[in-house]
Amino acid sequence: GDSVTQTEGLVTLTEGLPVMLNCTYQTIYSNPFLFWYVQHLNESPRLLLKSFTDNKRTEHQGFHATLHKSSSSFHLQKSSAQLSDSALYYCALTHTNTGKLTFGDGTVLTVKP
Amino acid sequence: EAAVTQSPRSKVAVTGGKVTLSCHQTNNHDYMYWYRQDTGHGLRLIHYSYVADSTEKGDIPDGYKASRPSQENFSLILELASLSQTAVYFCASSADWGVGAETLYFGSGTRLTVL
């Protein structure tokens, strides 16, 4: 079945430094759809950004990610971390018509002053 | 803004007891889901449904039943609650997955503690 791997369980950064959260996936289908969801403390997950186009950068709220089918990756990046970016970030995968989203284990990002 | 409401917000149950978690959505969405969240395991799909009166097994269905009596309502039932089912449970809804990139809208979660 589908799987999503987020290698870092916890990332701690100083405010102003760049953010990169890793996400790789496995699927037998050739047209995957990749998502990043963010969950702030005591809140529910909400969509941050999504993509299904190979090698096209997608951006939202200062974050960006590019789906690379050749390396099965969809890393989340931001040029300068803010204190408010501290949250739990999930990478997720689906494909056409499945109606199911497979989530990675999540990465907790903590941004310190 | 999509609206998914879960009840109760938190619950303490006894081992072997029956627990019912409820979810109601006003988005007119076809798909509804139950996920459980555990530290270190992310969000795992328990059951989902794409039409009323029908449910599908997700990735971890054992020990759980689901019921979708109407488009708006989706319940998760633990017939015999166990300690291992202590977790936070999220309900979510989405529109039709015909193009495969639909957004999930999550409820606020139910924190279940089984003693």
Question: What own/partner pairs with CB < 8 Å and gap ≥ 24 does A83-86 have?
Answer: A83/A15, A83/A111, A83/A112, A83/A113, A84/A111, A85/A19, A85/A109, A85/A111, A86/A40, A86/A41, A86/A110, A86/A111
Across the interface, of A1, A33, A104, the residue whose CB is closest to B100 is A33
Chain A (55-84) residues lying within 8 Å, Cβ to Cβ, of chain B: none
Most confident of the following: A50-54, A97-101, B67-71, B95-99: B67-71
- A107: buried, middle or exposed (CB in 10 Å: 19+, 13-18, 0-12)? buried
**pLDDT tens digits, B7-43:** 999 999 999 999 999 999 999 999 999 999 997 778 9
Chain B residues with CB-CB distance to A1 below 8 A: 59
**pLDDT tens digits, A27-86:** 988 888 999 999 999 999 999 999 989 999 999 999 999 999 999 999 999 999 999 999
Distance (Å) from the alpha carbon of B37 to chain A's nearest alpha carbon: 9
Is there a contact between A80 and B20 (Cβ–Cβ < 8 Å)? no
Q: Which residue has the tokens 């907790």?
A: A108
pLDDT band at B96 (very low <50, low <70, confident <90, very high): confident
Q: List the beta bridge partners of residue A20.
A: A77
Chain A residues with CB-CB distance to B99 below 8 A: 96
Q: List the beta bridge partners of residue B54.
A: B51
Q: Would you call B31 and A31 a contact, using CB atoms and an 8 Å cutoff?
A: no
Across the interface, of B41, B44, B98, the residue whose CB is closest to A97 is B98
Chain A residues with CB-CB distance to B101 below 8 A: 33, 50, 52, 94
Separation CA B115–CA B81 (nearest Å)? 9
